[in-house]
Every structure is written in C-alpha cells, then in structure tokens.
Amino acid sequence: MRIFAALTGLILLAASLRAFADEQSFGAYPAPDAMVAEIHALAADFPNHAEVMEYGASVQGRPLLAVRIAADLSTHKPPALIAAAIHGNEWIANRVAMAAARRLLNGYGADPWITGILDRMDIFVIPCMNPDGYYKTFEMLRDPSIPWRNGRKNANRVDVNRNFPLPGERTVDIAMAGVEDDPDHERYTGPNPYSEPESAALRDFAAARPLFAAVDLHSNWGTIFPPKCNSAGCEKQFRKMCDAAIARQKFVKYPCVMARNVDSFSGEMEDTLFYDFGVMAVCWETFTTKAADEQKQRLPHSFWSQNPEDIAWWTDNDADAVLAAIESAYEITGGSPVPEKLRQVRQ
C-alpha cells in the first residue's frame, strides 16, 4: 500500500512538474499565450488611449494584432508604426515594442515629451508580426533539436522579411539578401513576393493608412539600417532620423549604416515601405552580437544567441530611442508620406 501511495505521489508530482513546465518560458520572456494576453491588456488598462485590432491571420490561423495608441481614439492623426518579431525567434524585439507602447501609455499626460508625441500623431504597435514563429521558438524550450531557423521563419518555412517585393534589381547576390529555391535556408524568400499571409497583411495594413514612419524591430546586430536610399538627399534625411534615435540611447549607441552605392534590395520590409508607401522606415537591430557571444558562454541554448537575458537593460536602452526616431521622422515629413517624386528607384 505504501509503495502504491508512493508511486501515486511520484506520478502526481511528475504531472505537476509537467504542468508547471508548460507555463514556463525562456527566462523572463512571456510564453506565447501570455504575450498575446499582454497585448490585449494594453487596451484593458488604457481604454481611452489604446485599442487592439486584428489586421490579418498567420499561416496557422493565429491573429495578427496591432495596437493603436492615441491621445484621443475618436479622432485620427498622422500614423506611425512600431513593428516587431517578423522573425519569430527574436523575442527581444517584442519586448522593445511593448516597452515603447507602455512608455507612451504611461507617459501621456505625465511626461511632456510623450504627451507632445501623442498630441501630434497616432502610433500603431504590432508586437509580433510572426506569431507562428514565436510559438515554434517556444517549442524549442522542450525540444532543442528544432532548428533555429524554424523559429525565425513562418509556418511555410519562409523568411517573411525576405518576402516583400524588390523595388529595383537585386544587385548583390549573397545569401543575406535571400535564397529563392531552398525552403530549408534560414532566408528562404518564398515562391513570390507577398506569398505569405503575414507579409500580405502588412502590405494591406500600410495601404490602408498614410504611415509616415516605421521602426521594424529585430535582433541582434545592434545597428539601425535605413532602406537602400536613392540619393544623398535621402541618406541625409534618414541620418537625421537615426541621429535623433541614437541621442536617446542610454547605454549603447548603435551605428546607423547606409551605403546606397553598395547596398542591395533584398525583399525586406523597410525597402517596400519606403518605395511603395512613402514611409520613413528603418530596420532596428536591438542587442549586439558581442553581448550575445558573451552570454552564450553561460546560456548555450540557441534562443540566447538572439535574445538578452537582461531584458530591462535593453528595453531601457532602446524604447525611448525608437520613439525619438519616429518623432524625428514627423519633423522631417510633417506627418505625411514621402512624396513619390522623392522616392523613385535609382540603381
């Protein structure tokens, strides 16, 4: 009887441990359901200034969620976008986006700088553009054999950030720019531009509103990348946007990398947003490869090659800087998309 009781206790203990494990995540990062609940909590906590909308669905049917943050939800002001986690394993991007959202909502009416931002514009936040990849990354917690690239891509094995159309000819034939014929490659472009519901939904989202600025959050290069510019004048304006952001960074100042004469179109979001929609869009790589390499000595799981253990340090470094970049773009554009005549493609 005692043996039976002991065995029963062990079984219950094992079951409880499994249930407990199912609720866990990588360090302080939220598991997928908690991440989604956190998005909805923004509207619940700030009903006068935040509303959640579903702008599409992923390959596996998960909702693509955007949060509109505004001083007054009943009116519409020039819209800007903060988007994150188009690569599903880059969870720190999601954390920076959510930190920026909370900064806006907590600061409106209390912080003159934040109040000034929201008095001039609405900011949409898409905390996770690739929820299927986010979920796949979560599965790696229990099965480290899942390839790192499977979390990066969507459920069709496409790198969504290589699935946008090329504004002009691809002039550099390198794997970083995307691979068209190998679904196993981490930067597989997919069969054709906008073949994926995630990229098509972002296209439709941009087409439905006159965005003037966007920050697309990634990890882990510690760099700000504007689109491939078409002129020195274009680079000058994006330099202003970058400089405003860098000035707000508290601990690490990221370089702003532009070189239109050697850069190449690669199917990334910021190129399409700029050339097709007139959005002053930048790719923002939070965290740094150096910090990631040092961290991997203690935390060998592949997740930690992309995501810092100390979330707050990096969100403190980047959240205000992201908002400063958007504010600078507003000052440059007046809150309107860049005129078409200034964004003609030049090779």
Residue 17 inside a domain? The answer is no
Q: Is 289's pLDDT higher than 70?
A: yes
> How far is Cα 166 from Cα 268, in angstroms, rounded to an integer?
8
Residue 6 inside a domain? The answer is no
Domain of 238, in residue numbers: 31-342
Query: Looking at the 3D structure of the chain, how many domains does it have?
Result: 1
Task: Point out which residues pair with 275 in neighbouring strands.
Answer: none
Residue 19 inside a domain? The answer is no
Q: Is 22's pLDDT higher than 60?
A: no
Q: How confident is the model at residue 12 (pLDDT cuts 50, 70, 90)?
A: very low
Residue 9 inside a domain? The answer is no
pLDDT of residue 18: 33
Please state the length of the chain. Answer: 347
Q: Is 347's pLDDT higher than 80?
A: no
Q: Which has the minimum average pLDDT: 2-11, 180-189, 216-225?
A: 2-11
Q: Which has the minimum average pLDDT: 19-28, 108-117, 194-203?
A: 19-28
Q: What is the pLDDT of residues 28-45, one digit of tens each?
A: 999 999 999 999 999 999
User: If you average pLDDT over residues 98-106, what whole number do you get?
Assistant: 98
pLDDT of residue 259: 77
CATH number of domain containing 172: 3.40.630.10
Q: Is 21's pLDDT higher than 50?
A: no
Residue 252 inside a domain? The answer is yes
User: If you average pLDDT over residues 311-316, what whole number do you get?
Assistant: 98
CB atoms < 10 A from the CB of 150, how many? 20
pLDDT of residue 239: 97
Residue 26 inside a domain? The answer is no
pLDDT of residue 254: 98
Residue 11 inside a domain? The answer is no
Residue 2 inside a domain? The answer is no
